[in-house]
Each structure stands twice: as structure tokens, then as C-alpha cells.
Amino acid sequence: MDAPVIHVEGLKKRFGQHEALRGLDLTVPQGVVYGFLGPNGAGKTTTIRILVGLLRADAGTVELFGEPIDDRQTVLHRIGALIEGPTFYPYLSGRDNLRVIGSAGPVPAPGRIDEVLELVDLRHRAKDRYAGYSLGMRQRLGIAAALLNDPPLLLLDEPANGLDPAGIVDMRGLLRRLAAEGHTILVSSHLLGEMQQLADEVAIINEGQLVRNGKLSEMLAIGGLIRIHVAAAELPTAQSSLEQLLGAAAVHLPDNGMGPGWIEISSASDRASEVNRTLAGVGVFPDRVETGDGLEHLFLSLTGADR
Amino acid sequence: MRLLRGELLKLVKRPATRTIFGLVGLAIVMIYVGMGAVAATLPAGEDRDGLAGLLTFPEAYRGLLALFPLFGGMALAIYAGLVIGSEWSWGTLRLAFTRGEPRWRYVLTTFVAIALLAFVALLVLFVVGVVAAFAAAAISGFPSGDLGHAETLVWLPLGLIGAWMGMVIIASLAFAVSLVARSQVAGIGLVVALFFGEQFAALVVPPEVLQFAPVAAARGLLAADGLLIPLVALAYLACALAASSLLIERAEIA
């Protein structure tokens, strides 16, 4: 089995009093589009900045391409990054910007600048000044810069920002094509519907910690399923009360590495409130309730944004 | 070389490059035309003779070169602060670093590109200054003198390099401060403060001490007799660039 392209363990980062990352674990396998999701301030951009060496972690380990990062410069030659929006010289044309960027770091292949401009559909505007580009065009130039050396790993922070619907569809196609060619793409995004269509796997982080990760298809295959999490001491009470409500066959304790305290209930997701009421009746108050209504619902329930 | 070419492309195409060096050229022309106009109105005497020394060749070469560490140094300091400060504000520094370019090499190459561009600008502005001095001499009614004075022409390359180094040393201070403070204004402010601060300090600090201050040392390169002042001036340059390299290597970019 191939080593994961990104493997992060126990990553911690503090800015003054604010703890941005609290022991984040993350494993991104090769050749996938990996959605990196979390509410604002969850630690997504901090994580990406640590991966590319702009920030130093306070604790934890980072391995890229199966190796600890000893020689960050060499590792960075294999990464293309778009972090917090595109950053270019406003007075230069799109093409000149790519020429200037290509002069730092690894040498782009001959003709590569035209290739990436074509790829992001900017060749016809390549001679225009960057300052005159629309937000979507700037974003596409940012992707072009990330692709300049055809790196095996792309780290894209909100790449669809500012794109119109057609641009988002194009971006999705481009990223899928790149993944099919063997690139690994970590995409941080708030566009959950888009991520649902794009990502093979996702990690959802909140307050600097991983709250759920895995294959998107498996995470969303809980349609007709309600998952709740209760304190371990309350598990027997919760289980028996739910068995009384829905029958023993519908209630089981998952054995899939999710950790203790989880109960899975085979039931339509609209019965979640009934489940909650039943548990409250026996003095059990779940700290998480998940239903199989799509990534957005899962995201909101995991990050507490729906409370 | 690839990195240096990229840096030069950035600078050559930047509108601020033309604006700043254009303003220095304009200032030089105005100074000389002004001197010519004033000299034309002066009666024969000490003042008029003093201006004749500045407008008549070959002495005018030395007078012209002495302007560069002052006006050129100030302008180049503003330019260097502007260039590296805008790398922060545009986020382009971040982009270069995420491409795996060693940070120290990137910032030093940026400074070398600024210095090379300044040398070309100095040559162009020197020619502009010579023409302006020639025109001023004509306005004032002085003879233009000997433009091809052999001894001065032999000294001239050294004089140009001295003027250029003076400008570069002053600019390196603004560059380092703007880089470390992540602000265009910080470096420019420092150099302006040094220019005026050293002027005021001259009221209380003896000249034999003040000559080692950064701007005084950089300006003194052309006139220095021994090696001490040039060495002190070069030490300022080395310290500014070493501090830039070391601090940017350690910097966290949030």
C-alpha cells in the first residue's frame, strides 16, 4: 500500500492565548480529492500553512510523501499551493506573473506557462494586467500558479472563491481530471454541496481537532440512519430506552473505530427528534446527533454550527 | 540567474520604478537649471565663483556625483522599502516561499536586483546630470570647461561606483527594516529619520564621531581618505543584509 501523501499527528499551534490546533490528526491518501472542511477558525488554513512551512507547529509530527520533513525546500518542490486567495503583482500581466513565479523554486517545463494558462482558460487574457482580472480570473490564475510545476500534491484553500457557477463546474472538472492523472488534491472549502460532488474523502475539523474523516461515500451512506453520541456511563440506559422505542434490531453499537459512546439507529432521519425526546425522558442528553441527510447536515451536526 | 531575471522583470515593469527614478532625474535637472539661473543673476564675486565650480567641468563631475548618495540614496531607500514592503502586502513573498525557494536567497536576490537597477539608473541619471550641468553653465554664461579632462575621466568609474555604493548602503537599511517590520512605511521612515536625525545630531555630536553614522558613512564613501569610513559603510550593508536573511528564515507567515 502506498504511504499517505500527508500524514499529520498531534499537530498543535497556538497564537498567543488562542489555540488554533489542538492535536490535529490527518491522513491523506494518494490520488484522491480530499475535502478539508471546518467552520471559520477551525484551523484549516493554519494546517495548510504548517504543511508548506509558513508556520512552525508547536507540537506534533508532519510527514509528506511518507517522509518526515527534514528538507522542506525539496518537499515544497512537489507541492502546488493556493493559500487564502491568489497573490500576484497587480501591474504585471497574467503571463508575466507566472514567469516571475516560475523563476523561484523548481524550473517549469518549457511551454508549461502556456499549458497552465490554457488549462484554466486564461490564455486569451494572458497579456492583460492582473489588476484588471475579475475575482474568478484571479482565482484561476492562482490555480495555474499552483500547477506550474505539475506537482503531485495540490493544497488549495477555497479555490472556488469568486467563481461563477460555470467556473465552479469547470473547476470541479479540472480537479477531477488532475486527480485521475494521479495528483493528490487537498481542498479546503466552505462549499459543502460542491465538496459532496467533488471529494473522494473528507476530514471535518472543528476547534483545531479532527471530528470525523473517511470516505465520503461511507460517511453519507448513513441515510436511514441516526447516530447519537452519549456519555459512556449513559450508554446502557440510552440503548435500552431506544430498543423499547424502535425494537432491538434497529439499535446497535457500531464497531468501526468511531470510539465509545456511539449508538446507531436504523430509522428515518426525521425520527431524530423523537429519539432525542425519548432519551431526555430517561435523563440522557446526547452531545451529538447525526443523520444521513448529506454532507451539509453532517458538517453542521459535527461542528455544532446547527446549535 | 533565473531568479535574478525574474526579479529584474518585476522591477523593470513596475510603474514605481519609472516614477521614482524619473523624479530623481527631474530633481537633478531642476537643481542645475536653478543654479544656472541664479548664477546668471549674480554679480562677479565669491558666490558666483562658487557656482562656477559646480557648473564647470571637470569639477562639475564631482559635484554631480556628490548629489547621488543624498537624493539617489533617499530615493533608492524609498524604492527598496516600497518593493519589499509590497511583497508583504500583496502576499507575493508567501507565494515564492511556498514554491520552495530558500527565503534568504529570495530576499537577497530581490535586493541585488534593486541594486543592479539602481546602477543602471545612476548611469542614466548621471548622463542627464551632465547635460543639465552643461545647460546650466550655458544659462549662467560660464564656460563649460573640459568635459574630457583625462585625470577626472580615469577617476570617474570609481566615483560612480562610490556613489552607487552609497545609495545601496542607505537603501539596504530601508530594505531590512521594511522586510522585518513587514511594512513599506517602516523602512522609508527609518531612512528619513536617519537623514534628518544626523543633520540635527551634527549640532551636538562632533564630526569625527558623526562620520560613522549610517547615512554620513554612506555619503562619505566618495570623499573618504582612508579605508575606515568605507569599511564602516560596508559593515552597515553587511549587517542589514545578514539581518534580513536571518530574520526572514525564522519568520512565521500567518
- Residue A193 is part of a domain; what is its CATH number? 3.40.50.300
pTM above 0.90, yes or no: no
Residue of A nearest to B95 (CA): A87
- Assess if residue A301 is contained within a domain: no
A201 with A256, same domain: the answer is: no
- Give yes or no for residue A216 having a pLDDT over 80: no
**pLDDT reported for residue A128:** 94
ω before A90 within 30° of 0 (cis)? no
**Nearest-CA neighbor of A156 among A48, A7, A65, A77?**
A48
Q: What percent of chain A has pLDDT over 70?
A: 92
Is A306 inside a domain boundary? no
Nearest CA in chain B to A54: B253
Q: Are residues A261 and A196 in the same domain?
A: no
A307, pLDDT greater than 50? no
Mean predicted confidence (pLDDT) in B22-27: 93
Q: Which one of A82, A100, A147, A153 would you mutate to disrupt binding with B, by most B Cβ within 10 Å of its Cβ?
A: A100
Residue A215 vs residue A127, higher pLDDT: A127
Report yes or no: A81 and A155 within 8 Å, Cβ to Cβ. yes
> Of A170, A188, A213, which residue constitutes the final position of a domain?
A213
Q: B6 and A104: CB-CB below 8 Å?
A: yes
CATH number at residue A276: 3.30.70
Whether residues A104 and B252 touch (CB distance < 8 A) is answered with no
Output B116 or A66, whichever has higher pLDDT. B116
Indicate which of B98, B101, B109, B182 best probes the interface with A, i.e. most A CBs within 10 Å of its own CB: B98
Kindly state whether residues A72 and A202 are assigned to the same domain: yes
Q: How many CA atoms lie within 13 A of A287 on its CB side?
A: 10
* B238 has pLDDT over 60: yes
Q: Count contacts between A and B (CB, < 8 Å).
A: 89
Alpha-carbon distances of B111 from A88, A276, B15, B211, rounded to whole Å:
19, 65, 18, 25
Q: Could you report the per-residue pLDDT of A235-282, keeping only the tens digit for each?
A: 999 999 999 988 888 888 876 556 788 888 877 666 777 888 888 889
Q: Are strands A209-215 and A201-206 parallel, antiparallel or unpaired?
A: antiparallel
130-159 in chain A: CB under 8 A from chain B: 145, 149
The mean pLDDT value of chain A amounts to: 86
Contacts of A46 in chain B (CB under 8 A): 254
Average pLDDT over every residue of A136-158: 92
| Nearest beta carbon to residue A96 from set B13, B99, B106 | B13
Does A275 share its domain with A187?
A: no
The predicted model gives A212-224 an average pLDDT of 72
- Residue A229's domain spans which residues? 221-291
Classify residue A252: in a domain, yes or no. yes
Any domain includes A135? yes
CA-based nearest distance B221→chain A, Å = 34
Asked whether the beta carbons of residue B7 and residue A103 sit closer than 8 angstroms, the reply is yes
A110 & A50 share domain: yes
When CB atoms are compared, the residue of A55, A89, A107 closest to B252 is: A55
Regarding whether A46 and A97 lie in a shared domain, the answer is yes
Mutate: best of B4, B12, B83, B99, partner A, most A CBs <10 A: B99
Q: What is the mean pLDDT of residues A222-245?
A: 84
**Mind listing the pLDDT tens digit for each residue in A97-125?**
999 999 998 899 999 999 999 988 899 99
Q: Where is average pLDDT lowest: A158-167, A200-209, A294-303? A: A294-303
- A230 & A119 share domain: no
Residues A81, A55 within the same domain: yes
Rounded to whole angstroms, how far apart are CA atoms B46 and B53? 11
Q: What is the mean pLDDT of residues A281-299?
A: 76
Which residue, B73, B155, B154, B69, is CA-closest to B114?
B73
Of A194, A213, A232, which residue is a domain's last? A213
Place of cell 461563477: A164
Flag whether A307 is in a domain.
no
Contact status, residue A279 vs residue A285, Cβ threshold 8 Å: yes
User: What is the predicted pLDDT for the residue at B104?
Assistant: 94
Q: How confident is the model at residue A223 (pLDDT cuts 50, 70, 90)?
A: low
Query: How far is Cα A91 from Cα A169, in angstroms, rounded to an integer?
Result: 29
List chain A residues with CB under 8 Å of B3.
103-104
Looking at the structure of chain A, the number of domains it has is 2
Residue of A13, A75, A87 to mutate, interface with B, max B Cβ within 10 Å? A87
Cβ neighbours, 10 Å, residue A169: 13
Residue A242 lies in a domain: yes
What does the pLDDT read at residue A91? 96
Establish if A49 touches chain B: CB-CB under 8 angstroms: yes
Q: Are residues A155 and A114 in the same domain?
A: yes
pLDDT band at A34 (very low <50, low <70, confident <90, very high): very high
**Quick one: average pLDDT of B49-75?**
86
pLDDT of residue A35: 92
Statement to judge: residues A120 and A167 lie in one domain: yes
- Nearest neighbour of B94 by CB, restricted to A76, A83, A103: A83
ipTM of this model? 0.87
In 3D space, the residue among A63, A68, A60 whose CA is nearest the CA of residue A12 turns out to be: A60
Q: How confident is the model at residue B147 (pLDDT cuts 50, 70, 90)?
A: confident
User: How many Cβ atoms from other residues are within 10 Å of residue B116's Cβ?
Assistant: 16
Across B176-202, average pLDDT: 90
Closest Cα in chain A to B16: A91
**Quick check: B9 and A145 CB within 8 A?**
no
Structural domain contains residue A47: yes
Q: Measuring CA to CA, which residue among A106, A294, A111, A107 is closest to residue A216?
A: A294
Which is higher by pLDDT, A231 or A93? A93
In a shared domain, residues A152 and A45: yes
The answer to whether B159 and B222 are in contact (CB under 8 A) is yes
| Residues contacting B252, CB < 8 A, separation 6+ | A54, A55, A56
Interface of B with A (CB under 8 A): 2-3, 5-7, 9-10, 13-15, 90-92, 94-102, 106, 252-254
- Residue A226 and residue A83 share a domain: no
Give residue A224's pLDDT: 63
Asked which of A213, A248, A277 is the last residue of a domain, the reply is A213
Instruction: Report if residue A303 sits inside a domain.
Output: no
